[in-house]
């Protein structure tokens, strides 16, 4: 017995739907010789539907259907349409095998859900590469669907964490966003998610520029209002299930952004800086601007080869970046988590 060109390991389940016995035999032998199998056969569209139901009940997988167009009792186009309407079988690719040359038939076959058609007579030397191409497409499609389902589950998990957060007494009393204790708990979880799902995790540390001068000039009550408005901007920008913001202490705030790389973190930081300055909160004592501004330090934990993403290291790197940004004020600085090297001031 041959092999299926080394493309796939393990069984490849294929259903042949063909009413002519000699054609079924030809396809069966050609596919067997190429190393495909197990193979199933049906001589009509209705037989194919019955066999599919039996396989589904037995939880037997099926990777591909080779379907003749001209079949007794139900043509292949109608059989394909019914297969695609059944959720149990809708993901199975259908390839038509036909001697038809009329475009109307071929277009109807593709409109019914077929992915391609093979013209009779089939060259056995071309069959295995074509089948491998169809199977590769099926496996890639299955993989992407699994990834989408996995990410949907992760997003649901993060959304549940956010709902859980709302029920905890971990809010900052003044700004109504999470406090330091809450943030520390969630950052640990986010670090685990980043390693588990191989996702980048970025951290932003934000400091209101010359806030002591603001309090000295406008008083602590007005200072509290300033903190609330800055917190409101952070809350608006942390809308994804994988985003959290918190008051870190005094006039410092933090944001953690799951599945956000260094470039994305810099873009968020710059937008945050601009939005806070655009509040046009007067700050007459500031040597930087006539308005309240912030400095932002960022760092990113790309998925590490060591499989580590430690909250303490993230916080320390973001703090170093913030220190660099505060040298200039109303700026953004980034520190590379792996090298501790300053990436630049924006």
Catalytic residues: 251
Paired with 246 in beta bridges are 254
* Tokens, residue 146: 């699994």
The answer to whether the beta carbons of residues 304 and 313 sit under 8 Å apart is no
Determine the longest span between alpha carbons in the chain, in angstroms.
Answer: 94
What is the layout of strands, in order, in the sheet containing 294-301?
243-249, 252-258, 201-208, 294-301, 332-335, 342-345
CA 231 – CA 166 distance, rounded (Å): 16
CA 68 – CA 31 distance, rounded (Å): 16
Paired with 294 in beta bridges are 208
Sign for the pseudo-dihedral over CA of 267, 272, 277, 280: positive
* Tokens, residue 105: 């038939």
CA 125 – CA 72 distance, rounded (Å): 29
CA 191 – CA 152 distance, rounded (Å): 18
The answer to whether the beta carbons of residues 10 and 4 sit under 8 Å apart is no
């Amino acid at each position: 017995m041959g092999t299926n060109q080394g493309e796939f390991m393990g069984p490849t389940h294929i259903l042949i739907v063909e009413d002519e016995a000699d054609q079924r035999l030809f396809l069966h032998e050609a596919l067997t010789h190429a190393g495909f199998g197990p193979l199933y056969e049906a001589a009509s569209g209705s037989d194919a539907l019955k066999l599919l139901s039996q396989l589904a009940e037995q939880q037997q997988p099926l990777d591909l259907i080779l379907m003749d167009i001209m079949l007794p009792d139900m043509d292949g186009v109608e059989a394909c349409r019914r297969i695609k309407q059944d959720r149990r079988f809708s993901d199975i690719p259908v390839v038509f095998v036909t001697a038809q040359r009329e475009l109307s038939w071929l277009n109807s076959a593709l409109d019914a859900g077929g992915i391609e058609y093979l013209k009779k007579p089939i060259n056995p030397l071309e069959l295995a590469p074509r089948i491998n191409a169809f199977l590769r497409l099926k496996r890639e499609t299955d993989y992407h669907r699994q990834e989408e389902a996995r990410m949907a589950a992760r997003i649901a998990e993060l959304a549940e964490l956010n709902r859980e957060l709302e029920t905890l007494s971990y809010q900052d009393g003044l700004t109504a966003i999470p406090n330091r204790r809450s943030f520390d708990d969630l950052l640990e979880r986010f670090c685990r998610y980043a390693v588990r799902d191989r996702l980048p995790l970025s951290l932003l540390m934000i400091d209101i520029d010359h806030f002591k001068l603001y309090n000295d000039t406008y008083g602590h009550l007005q200072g509290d209002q300033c903190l609330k408005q800055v917190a409101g901007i952070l809350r608006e920008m942390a809308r994804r299930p994988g985003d959290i913001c918190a008051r870190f202490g005094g006039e410092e705030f933090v944001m953690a952004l799951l599945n956000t790389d260094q470039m994305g973190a810099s873009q968020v930081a710059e937008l945050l800086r601009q939005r806070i300055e655009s509040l046009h909160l007067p700050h007459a004592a500031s040597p930087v601007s006539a308005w309240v501004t912030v400095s932002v330090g960022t760092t990113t934990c790309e998925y590490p080869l060591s499989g580590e993403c430690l909250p303490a290291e993230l916080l320390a790197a973001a703090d170093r970046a913030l220190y660099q940004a505060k040298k200039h004020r109303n700026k953004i600085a980034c520190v590379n988590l792996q090298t501790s090297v300053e990436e630049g001031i924006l």
